[in-house]
Amino acid sequence: MISDDIGDPGSQIGTTRLPALAALRCFEAAARFESFSRAADALNLTHGAVSRAVRLIEDDLGVALFDRRNRRVFLTQPGRKLAQAVREGFGLVEAAVRDIRSEARAPALVVSCEPTLLMRWLIPRLPDFQRRHPDLAIHLVAGGGPVMLGRGIDLAIRRDDFVPPEGTHAVPLFRERIGPVCRADKIASSFDHLDAGGSALLRRDAVLLHTRTRPDAWETWMRLTDRRVPGQRSQSFEHFYISLQAATAGIGVAIGPWQLVRDEIDSGILAAPLGFVEDGSTYHLLSPAAIGMHGPQALLRDWLLAAAI
């Protein structure tokens, strides 16, 4: 035989009989307006239906929730106490329902990301996110510079080298750190003896790799490190990611951001004999409004922050 007592013996839910949900809804509206008539209009019910629902709760609790005077109603002390609890309870339920519906119906989250960061940092890490959140689809779009969020793009990952539209919310992901990188087995052809501080020096015949999308990369690094590059040999590429690929192939030395080359350095393919320095810029996750604590955007934000460490 199945017992009617399904509550946990140690839980108040199993021992406390609550008024009907519909009656509590009527009471909450009446308490909010301190008017049965306005509550009835808000709930699309009759004045009598609201009055009866409130009376049922009062009879159940054995106290008056409203003081009825001259065709007006005023909350009593017990009424105010119950109204606050019911309002907070309904708020929690409504928030949970919104989150659940959003997660159940949410289409793919469209994320725009700068192409080089997308290829060399985000995509290699994306399988980890998919393992953690198999029901959340991410659609990646390559793009750089200013972006209009909300027009087919939910979120964007950008470096702060432009002013985003007013109202855009930005979550800092990581600071940019840059340094010369080359193929690990080609260090001797690009770097030779140590300077007085024990650091490697670029050879005069080292091939410096440049890119049209970051034409000032070498100048920025020299300014930040107070170094001069003696070499005159160079090769230029159209896009930043091509210059990094050229360094990986052993063609020369490129200025590489740490986040974009960390995997190759960890695997021993690339080397950074002079280390990395912050260049003053930061990558941000951009959204049209502040991201809350729950939902698909929050899951992606939290994962990105962890991945950037």
What is the residue-averaged pLDDT of the chain?
Answer: 89
Task: For residue range 54-77, list pLDDT tens digits in order.
Answer: 999 999 999 999 999 988 899 999
> What's the pLDDT score for residue 307?
97
CA distance 77 to 65: 8
CA distance 170 to 285: 6
Task: For residue range 181-205, list pLDDT tens digits in order.
Answer: 999 999 988 988 665 555 778 888 8
Question: Who contacts 153 (Cβ-Cβ below 8 Å, separation ≥6)?
Answer: 110, 111, 112, 141, 143, 147
Q: What is the mean pLDDT of residues 230-234?
A: 77
- In percent, the amount of the chain with pLDDT more than 70 equals 91
Q: What is the mean pLDDT of residues 164-189?
A: 94
Burial class of residue 2 (count of CB atoms within 10 Å of its CB; 0-12, 13-18, 19+): exposed
> Which of 124-133, 146-155, 253-262, 298-307 has the lowest average pLDDT?
146-155
Whether the predicted pLDDT of 178 surpasses 50: yes
Task: For residue range 84-139, list pLDDT tens digits in order.
Answer: 999 999 999 988 887 777 666 657 899 999 999 999 999 999 999 999 999 899 99
What structural domains does the chain harbor? 12-105 (1.10.10.10), 109-172+282-307 (3.40.190.10), 175-281 (3.40.190.10)
- Reported confidence tier of residue 1, pLDDT bands at 50, 70, 90: very low
Whether the predicted pLDDT of 179 surpasses 90: yes
| Residue spans of beta strands (DSSP E) within 98-148 | 109-113, 138-142
pTM over 0.75? The answer is no
